[in-house]
């Protein structure tokens, strides 16, 4: 504009921005969820969170699913997150509502599940007075969350919720609690979005140090007996494709932990199976006798290592994890690498290819040995001797008939191990289970959450008769909300894993493990009648020739949940098994306790 322009001398007013809308803290909660892209939440209202439920009723973007117990809300949010990779959200009131979420929060913390729990709290003026339904949920959950927020003013709400999502979903994923007092929900304040998120000290490292990558690549190129030890971090970091590229470039054997099933395809020729207490013999001994363990998002859990001091005594260790606290916690790492596993795998693949040009690797002798173990110790099971169904056969057929595109959520116990062993996982996020905490009652609500997240997939809850009785009330939630999950109760009429340990280590003294749910004329409860009462399709299977028809009927039924009561042998055990606290060098133990190929074929 020239100085001769007639408008040149007219001062321009500063640009105006629309004033921030004023809303209640409760409205700010719902609006924050909207702007964060949340579409589904699981919860149960109560006095201290009631203000949030009023605007939630009118919101067209967020679907609220009313559970029958807050633990169910927590596990459903976990299942939602584990199946989709998105942050799961659970809502509860103060006191017992909040404490009922604690088990799910602890579960999410152990298994690195991105979870945000929003709880109501009593009026700030009443805190510390033992007010009705008051509990210090921030203090209670401090050891089992990535962070816990206590919000006492309406102005803080958008920032706290946005920060919670940021923390839950970045770095090592995990649960975050946002506890909001009732007066903060009722007060009014300007709603400012996006809020300024101030997280001093929270700086997750995603890019690894180049020298460490080079050192790891050199070890991979020069080792003779390496193993890629893959943990749940490969799932959480969405690194399955990059893992496959590196594995095929190296030609090294791969083992996937209980939390990593599906991170690497079971059908791949380099996959040796699951390591650990109930892992395959080749997977366990590959780790134990290796000269290099490349740990990728795994944490050397005691169920994998056995007695840690005797684990893989001749192996050097490359440990990759986004959480620096995990590195060298159990096993000292020769090459520690802190970073996001997906990015590390990309860099490590490039570095390995360069190193391999100088020192071409040769794993031929190692594979000769491992393939010999595969032939000698194939995974299998012996037939039952009491005329009852084989639980392994039931679970295997569920996997075969449903296929790799299904989702399988498991409870905890023998059925969990059989589901990890006998279903073939070809993709990530298909296998959901409570690995670190071992939470009975996880399966049904987690399957419900997974079905909400992935409605086009067939979703199975593979449960035990003990686990099922802890959270089966969520079948009512499924029926009312049109969430047609399939439930397979592996009913051995007992707390099966505890009974197995009692058989092996307590002279067969089965103290308080008989549940009276499946065998004989007494069925307490009758799971078919229970399913019918909830509005589900209930089926009982007691004969081998009924298995496939029942599974197919479940797969064909999508207008309501299906519950199949598979009455199986109480004497079936999970093999192989490395007893707790011993070395993983157990070839002779495996010979004595793992069914032979001939037994599997009989």
In this structure, what CATH number is given to the domain that contains residue 521? 3.40.50.970
Q: Does 594 fall in a domain?
A: no
Mean pLDDT of 481-502: 94
User: Do 442 and 478 sit in the same domain of this protein?
Assistant: yes
SS3 annotation, 401-427:
HHCCCCEEEECCCHHHHHHHHHCCCCC
Whether residues 126 and 256 share a domain: the answer is no
Q: Are 219 and 284 members of one domain?
A: yes
Per-residue burial over 168-191, b if 16 or more Cβ lie within 10 Å, else e, is bbbbbbbbbbbbbbbbbbebebeb
pLDDT band for position 585 (50/70/90)? confident
Q: What is the pTM of this model?
A: 0.94
pLDDT in tens, 240-295: 999 999 999 999 999 999 999 999 999 999 999 999 999 999 999 999 999 999 99
- The answer on 412 and 357 residing in a single domain is no
Domain span holding position 443:
391-574
- pLDDT tens digits along 360-388: 889 999 999 999 999 999 999 999 999 89
- Assess whether 366 and 400 both reside in one domain: no
Average pLDDT of the segment spanning 153-163? 98
The candidate with the shortest Cα–Cα distance to 95, out of 125, 65, 127, 56, is 127
- pLDDT at residue number 416: 97
Judge whether 314 and 289 are in contact, CB under 8 Å: yes
pLDDT at 598 > cutoff 70: no
Asked whether residue 159 is domain-assigned, the answer is: yes
pLDDT score for 243 = 98
Instruction: Determine the average pLDDT of the residues in 173-193.
Output: 98
Residue 150 lies in a domain: yes
The yes-or-no verdict on residue 1 having pLDDT over 80 is no
Whether residues 419 and 542 share a domain: the answer is yes
Q: Output the domain CATH number for residue 298.
A: 3.40.50.1220
Percent with pLDDT over 90 in the chain: 88
Where does a domain end: 376, 410, 432?
376
Confidence of residue 584 (pLDDT cuts 50, 70, 90): confident
Any domain includes 117: yes
One domain, residues 478 and 566: yes
Q: Are 379 and 432 in contact (CB under 8 A)?
A: no
Q: Which residues are catalytic?
A: 70, 132-133, 182, 497
Question: And the tokens for 110?
Answer: 């152990």
DSSP collapsed to 3 states, 324-367: CCCCCCCCCCCEEEECCHHHHHHHHHHHHHHHHHHCCCCCHHHH
Query: pLDDT of 3-22, one tens digit each?
Result: 343 334 445 555 556 789 99
3-class DSSP assignment, residue 245: helix
> Exposed, middle or buried: residue 66 (CB in 10 Å: 0-12, 13-18, 19+)?
middle
Judgement on whether residues 141 and 185 belong to the same structural domain of the protein: yes
State how far the Cα of 584 lies from the Cα of 448, in Å rounded to an integer. Answer: 37
pLDDT given for residue 596 in this prediction: 42
> Does residue 237 sit in the same domain as residue 327?
yes
Asked if the structure places residue 420 within a domain, the reply is yes
Q: Is residue 148 included in any domain, yes or no?
A: yes
- Report the distance separating Cα 127 and Cα 130, nearest Å: 7
Tell whether 423 and 457 lie within a shared domain: yes
Count of domains forming the chain: 3
- Has residue 60 been placed in a domain? yes
pLDDT value at 594 more than 70: no
Q: What is the mean pLDDT of residues 394-423?
A: 98
Domain check: are 163 and 274 in the same one?
no
- Residue 200 burial by Cβ neighbours in a 10 Å radius (0-12, 13-18, 19+): exposed
Note whether 149 and 185 are same-domain residues.
yes
What is d(CA 553, CA 560) in angstroms, rounded to the nearest whole number? 12
In-domain check, residue 595: no
Q: What are phi and psi of 386, to 5 degrees?
A: -110, 10
Residue 591 clears pLDDT 50, i.e. is over it = no
């Amino acid at each position: 504009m020239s100085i001769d322009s007639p408008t040149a001398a007219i001062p321009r007013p500063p640009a105006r921005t629309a004033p921030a809308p004023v809303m209640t803290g409760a409205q700010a909660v719902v609006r924050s969820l909207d702007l964060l892209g949340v579409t589904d939440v699981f919860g149960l209202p109560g006095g201290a969170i009631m203000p949030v439920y009023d605007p939630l009723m009118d919101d067209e973007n967020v679907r609220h699913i009313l559970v029958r117990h807050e633990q169910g809300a927590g596990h459903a949010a976990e299942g939602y997150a584990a199946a989709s990779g998105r942050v799961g959200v659970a809502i509860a009131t103060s006191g017992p509502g909040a404490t009922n979420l604690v088990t799910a929060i602890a579960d999410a913390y152990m298994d690195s599940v991105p979870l945000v729990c929003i709880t109501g709290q009593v009026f700030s003026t009443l805190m510390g007075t033992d007010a009705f339904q008051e509990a210090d949920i921030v203090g209670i959950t401090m050891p089992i969350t990535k962070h816990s927020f206590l919000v006492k003013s309406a102005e803080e709400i958008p920032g706290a919720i946005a920060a919670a999502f940021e923390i839950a979903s970045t770095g090592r994923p995990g649960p975050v609690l946002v506890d909001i007092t009732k007066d903060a929900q009722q007060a009014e304040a300007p709603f400012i979005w996006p809020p300024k998120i101030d997280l001093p000290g929270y700086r997750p490292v995603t890019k690894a140090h180049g020298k460490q990558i080079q050192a790891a690549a050199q070890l991979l190129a020069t080792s003779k007996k390496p193993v890629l030890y893959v943990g749940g971090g490969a799932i959480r970091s969405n690194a399955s494709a990059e893992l496959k590229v590196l594995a095929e470039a190296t030609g090294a054997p791969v083992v996937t932990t209980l939390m990593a099933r599906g991170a690497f395809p079971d059908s791949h020729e380099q996959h040796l199976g699951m390591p650990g207490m109930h892992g395959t013999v080749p997977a366990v001994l590959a780790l134990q006798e290796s000269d290099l363990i490349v740990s990728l998002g795994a944490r050397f859990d005691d169920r994998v290592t056995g007695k840690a001091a005797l684990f893989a005594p001749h192996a050097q260790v490359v440990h990759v994890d986004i959480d620096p606290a995990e590195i060298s916690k159990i096993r000292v790492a020769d090459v520690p690498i802190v970073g996001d596993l997906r990015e590390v795998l990309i860099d490590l693949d490039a570095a390995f290819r360069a190193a391999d040009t100088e020192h071409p690797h040769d794993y031929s002798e190692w594979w000769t040995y491992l393939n010999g173990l595969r032939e000698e110790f194939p995974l299998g099971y012996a037939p039952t001797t009491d005329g009852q169904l084989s639980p392994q056969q039931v679970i295997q057929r569920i996997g075969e008939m449903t296929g790799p595109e299904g989702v399988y959520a498991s409870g905890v116990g023998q059925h969990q191990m059989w589901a990890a062993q006998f279903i073939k996982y070809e993709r990530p996020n298909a296998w959901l289970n409570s690995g670190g905490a071992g939470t009975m009652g996880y399966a049904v609500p987690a399957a419900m959450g997974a079905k909400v997240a992935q409605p086009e997939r067939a979703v199975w809850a593979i449960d035990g008769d003990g686990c099922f009785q802890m959270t089966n009330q969520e079948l009512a939630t499924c029926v009312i909300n049109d969430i047609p999950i399939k439930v397979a109760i592996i009913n051995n009429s007992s707390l099966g894993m505890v009974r197995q340990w009692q058989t092996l280590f307590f002279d067969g003294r089965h103290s308080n493990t008989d549940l009276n749910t499946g065998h004989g004329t007494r069925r307490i409860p009758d799971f078919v009648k229970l399913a019918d009462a909830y509005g589900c399709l209930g089926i009982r299977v007691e004969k081998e020739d009924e298995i496939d028809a029942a599974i197919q009927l479940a797969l064909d039924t999508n207008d309501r949940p299906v519950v199949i009561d598979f009455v199986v042998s109480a004497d079936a055990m999970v093999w192989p098994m490395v007893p707790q606290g011993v070395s993983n060098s157990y070839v002779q133990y495996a010979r004595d306790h793992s069914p032979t190929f001939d037994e599997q074929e009989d």
